[in-house]
Structure 1
Amino acid sequence: SENKSNVSFSRGKLYTPYYWPSNNAEPENTDYAVYLCKRTMQNKTRLELADYEAENLAKLQKLLSKKWELIYMQAEAQIKVDKKRDKMERKILDSQERAFWDVYRPTPGCVNTTEEDIRKTMRMRRTDHPNLGFFRSKPKANKIAQSPLLPHSPLASCQPTTSSQINSTCNQKLCEQDEVTTLENLKKEKDFLKRRLERRYVKVSRVSENYTNYFDQYTEFDPFITPADPSNPWISESTEFWDMEKSPKDIPQRRVRRWGFSIYELLKDPCGREMFRRFLEREFSSENLRFYEVCTELRYATNKDIVAKVEDIYNEFLAPVASCPINIDSRVMAITKTKMENPDRYTYDEAREHIFNLMTRDSYNRFLRSDTYRDCLASAKKKQKTISTGRMSIVRPILNNN
C-alpha cells in the first residue's frame, strides 16, 4: 500500500545527502515553516498535519508574521518543482523530508536524538556505570541481617523499642550509607572528568595545519620577517613608515589587502573603518557600525557615566522613536531590557554581538565585492608601481654617469 511504500523508502538507503543529519546543522524555523506550509497546500490524506504540527504552524505563523508571504511563496515554488517529478520520486522525497523533520522536530514526549544519545543515556543509567554516581539507585538495607528493628532478634534487648528511636536509628544509618556512596561516586566522577581533560579531541596535524596557514598569511605583514618599505622604524629610527600608516591618502597596497582577511583587520585600521563607514552610508546601514562603536566605548566608560550612556544609547538606537533604529530580534531586545533594569558596562553585549554578526555575514562580504574596495586596491597597486618606476629613473642616470 501507499503507507507501506513510504515506510520502506524511509528505512531504505535511498536518502539524498541533503537529508543526512551529519551534513546539516540545526535547521531554522523558517525551513520548518516552509515544510509545514507546503504540506497544507497538498490535498493528500497522508500529508495531513498532526495536532502538534498544526500547533507549531500556528506558532510559527505568529512568530514569523513579517516574512510569512516569503515563506508561502517558497512553499508554492517547491510544490511546482515537485509536480515536475514522477510519482515514485515524489514519494521518496516526501518520506525523506518527513523523516528529516521527525528527527529535528520530534513528536512531544519523544527524545530528540540530535541532542541526546539514547544508547549513552541507557549506559549511564546502569548501576555499575562509574561515570556519574547520581544515576545510581540507593542501596537497600538488609532487613534481616542489618536491621535492629525486629523484636525477635537476638539483640532485641539491646535495641531501642520505641517507634521514634527506631526511625531515628534507621534514618541515621541510611544517611551514613548514602554519604559513603556519594563520596565514592564523586571520586569516580572526578577521576572520569580528569581522564576526559587529558584526552585530545582535535588532531595535532589539523591544529598545526591551521597554524601554518595563519602564519603564512601574515608573514608578509611581519616587519621582522619581511623587510618593510620604507624601512622598519624599530631598526632605522625613521618614522617614515608610521607617517605613511597614518596618512589617509597614500594607503599602501599590502595594507588594503589585509582588510580582506577578516572584519577585525578592517575595523582595526582607521582608514579601513572610515571606508567601511562610507560604504555603509551608501547602503543605508551605517547605524550598525555606529551602534557597535558606542557599545565598545561603553565598556571602557567611567562608572559615573555608565547610566547616562546606557540611556543615551537606548534613546538613539533602540527606543520606539529612535533617531537611528537598528534591527535586532525580539529575544535580544528582551534580554537587553532586562539588563537595563540594573545598567552596567555590559548591558548591550548581546545586541552588540548580534549587530556585529550581522555586519560580518552581510555588510562585510558585500564590501569586499563592492567597487569601493576594488578601486582602492587597484589605486594602491598603481601608486606602488609609479613609486617603484620613479626610484628606477633616479638610479639609472647615476649608473650611466659611472
Structure 2
Amino acid sequence: MQKISIPGDTGVQTGADSDLMMQSFSEASLDLQDTKTLRKAWKSKINKFMQSSALWRKSNRQETDEAKLEETLETLLSQQSGQTVFREFLKSEFCEENLDFWFACEEFRTFSSEEELMGSATRIYEEFIKADAPNQVNLDFNTIEDIRRSLHRPGPLCFAVAQSKIYSLMENDSFPRFIHSEHYKVLFHTSWKHSKALKQKSPGT
C-alpha cells in the first residue's frame, strides 16, 4: 500500500517546535500564577480595608457616645462644665433660680446637725420660696405650706418634694430646649474635643 505524505508534515517534531510549546506552557503557567497572586493581593487589601472600617466605626461610636454624655439632665448636672453652661442657658431664659434652688437643696441634704438644718432651711425659704423671695421658684400652694410648717424643726428631706418638682420642671421644660440651643452646641463640641484629646494622648506624655 502506498503511503500518502502530506506536504509540510515531516512527522518529526523539531527542537524549535518543542521550545515553542514549552514557552507557551510556561507563559500560561505564569499568567495563572500572576492571576492567583493578584487575587490574593486584592483579597488581602479588601480584608484590611474591612477591618480598618470596622475599627473606625467602633471608635467613632465610642467618641460619639462619650461626646453625648450631656444628653441626660442627671449626667449634665454631674459635670462642672455642664452645670456652668446649663445655668448660663437658664439665665438667658430668666429662670436660673431653678438650678440654684436645686443645688441649695442638694447641699441641705448633706447637713446632719439640727442647727445646720434650721439655718439652711430658713435661708432657702427666704431666698426661693416665700411670697416675696428674691429668687422665687414656681411651686404650688400645698408644697409651700408643707415647707413653711416644717421650718420649726426641719429634717433632711424637708425640701425633697419641692426639689423633685423643680427638677422635673427643668428636665421636661428647660432641658429639651437646652439641647437644641447654641449653649449645648458649644458644650458638645468642647466635650468631643476633650474626649478625642484623651484618646490621642499616649501614656507618659
Fold equivalence (TM over 0.5): yes
Could you list the per-position Cα deviations for residues 322-361 of structure 1 after superposition, in whole angstroms to 9, with x for gaps in the alignment?
1111111112112222322431221111111110110110
Distance, in Å, in 2 between the alignment partners of 1:381 and 1:302 is 40
User: How far is 1:384 from its partner?
Assistant: 7.1
Among 118, 129, 132, the residue aligned to 1:321: 132
Residue 85 of structure 2 corresponds to 275
- After TM superposition, the score normalised by the length of structure 1 is 0.32
1:225-279 Cα offsets, whole Å, 9 max, x none, are x9xx9xxxxxxxxxxxxxxxxxxxxxx875441011x211111111111111111
Matches within 5 A, 1:103-182: none
Question: What's the CA shift string for 1:132-185, capped at 9, x where partnerless?
Answer: xxxxxxxxxxxxxxxxxxxxxxxxxxxxxxxxxxxxxxxxxxxxxxxxxxxxxx
Provide the identity percentage: 26
CA distance in 2, matches of 1:383, 1:354: 33
Q: Does 2:123 match 1:312?
A: yes
In the TM superposition, residue 319 of structure 1 has moved relative to its aligned partner by 1.8
Greater relative contact order, per chain length (Cα 8 Å cut-off, separation 6+): 2
Secondary structure of the equivalent of 2:99?
A: helix
8 Å CA contact 1:256, 1:376 repeated in 2: no
What does residue range 1-400 of structure 1 map to in structure 2 within 5 Å?
255-260=66-71, 262-303=72-113, 304-378=115-189, 381=192
Q: Distance in 1 between matches of 2:107 and 2:190?
A: 33
Q: Distance in 2 between the 1:380 and 1:310 partners?
A: 36
Where does residue 77 of structure 1 map in the other structure?
none
Per residue, is there more helix in 1 or in 2? 2
Q: Distance in 2 between matches of 1:273 and 1:298?
A: 18
Query: Aligned partners of 2:125 and 2:106: how far apart in 1?
Result: 14
SS at match of 1:259: helix
Distance verdict in 2 for CA 1:292–1:379, change over 3 Å: closer
2:127, 2:194 → 1: CA distance? 41
Q: 1:330 to 1:279 in 2, by over 3 A?
A: same
Give every structure 1 segment of 4 or more consecutive aligned residues whose post-TM-superposition deviation is greater than 6 Å.
382-385
1:216 equivalent in structure 2: none
Show CA shifts across 1:66-95 (max 9, x none).
xxxxxxxxxxxxxxxxxxxxxxxxxxxxxx
Cα distance in structure 2, aligned partners of 1:379 and 1:297: 28
What is the TM-score of this pair, normalised by structure 2?
Answer: 0.59
Kindly tell me the number of residue pairs found equivalent between the two proteins. Answer: 139
Distance 2:88 2:64 in 1: 20
Amino acid at match of 1:375: V
Structure 2: 5+ residue stretches without partners = 1-58
Query: Mind listing any 5+ residue stretches in structure 1 that lack a counterpart?
Result: 1-225, 230-251, 392-402
Letter in 1 for 2:80: P
Q: Decide whether the 8 Å contact of 1:253 with 1:384 is kept in 2.
A: no
SS in structure 2 opposite 1:310? helix
Q: Give the deviation of 1:383 after TM superposition.
A: 7.3
Q: 1:267 to 1:382 in 2, by over 3 A?
A: closer
In the TM superposition, residue 320 of structure 1 has moved relative to its aligned partner by 2.2
Query: Greater CA radius of gyration, 1 or 2?
Result: 2
Confirm or deny: 8 A CA contact 1:317 1:324 kept in the other structure.
yes
